[in-house]
Amino acid sequence: MRIAIVNDTVMVVETLRRLVTSVPGYDIAWVAYDGKSAITYCARDTPDLILMDMIMPEVDGVEATRVIMQQSPCAILIVTADIKKNSAKVFEAMGYGALDVVSTPIMGISEDETLNQALLKTIVSIGIVIGRLNPKRSSTRSGSSSDKSALNKSSYPPRQLPPLIVIGASTGGPKALARVLSELPPNFEASIVIIQHVDVQFSSGLAKWLDEQTPLSVVLACEGDRLREGKVLLAGTNDHLVLRPNLKLTYTKEPQDYPYRPSIDVFCESVAQSWSRRGIAVLLTGMGRDGAIGLKKLRRRGWHTIAQNQQSCVVYGMPKAAIEMEAAIEVLSLSEIASTLVKRVTHIP
């Protein structure tokens, strides 16, 4: 896999170079010390993955990400030294197409192996998603399991359950989610669960940022939470969020080798097993195929399923996979999704 480094600090560049080249099969495509150079280099030689710094002179990581994803798109991983301070920029960059974010690793006497391993692990996950690395497993995941598990549904009468909306997103997701949530009314009567591919260290900041974009309450989903009307729950760890038959939320590490964490498919499958009322499932912009299987399973259960259209996606991978699998009943632009949710939520049987 060919990896490019964009960072204005020589020591960080050398740290990243050393880490990347320590793994067989990883090569350095090029190095840029500012965003402007990165845009030029990427247009000439598009790598498989860019390790992008956030704070740089002239053109920062947000603007570089935006231009690169428009002109010569490729996988981009944000590598930043101060996650909390740069959280707003991080979410903006993810809105333009950055896949994930990790802390800048440290080398030398104070070497932090935890940060180093976190970076390498994320590179592996991205490599699998973009098809440059093979997952060390022969099957897809439990999403293709038999529908017999639906017998575990709760005994609650459907009408005693709130209307449920499940939204899955990945690359470009934060900005798309903000757009949808901002257009929902304050008295929206559905419960909403969001599965966004984002590392645990950013999930709390993302929940707070989304909460500022909507009249609804957006919080992280916690162990034991129940789904409530008018409340938006965001998956908040690197484990998979699932709904148990007792209708309480929990987190699980399984499947451990699945590259998408938290997984949209895993959550949708648990909903199909445990939630007796129909609902609405939406698959937004994202790289890869996560969510397509889950959307199809929910459609088979009578759910209304929606995929974002190509024109309004930052990356069309996930919605495209769902459409090709005939998992989506409707294909809508981002501007149409909120109004459709408002119209359809009162008609959920």
Which residues form the catalytic set? 170, 197, 290
Chain CA centroid to CA 170, Å: 3
- Name the pairing type of β-strands 249-252 and 240-243: antiparallel
Q: Which residue is it, tokens 């903006």?
A: 92
Q: Which residue is it, tokens 């499947």?
A: 255
- Closest to 288 (Cα-Cα) out of 262, 252, 316, 307: 316
- Name the pairing type of β-strands 217-220 and 231-234: parallel
- Closest to 37 (Cα-Cα) out of 17, 19, 60: 60
What residues are paired with 250 via a beta bridge? 242
Alpha helices by DSSP H, the chain: 10-21, 35-44, 61-71, 87-96, 113-129, 173-182, 200-211, 264-274, 292-300, 317-324, 334-345
| The two structure tokens encoding residue 261 | 């964490």
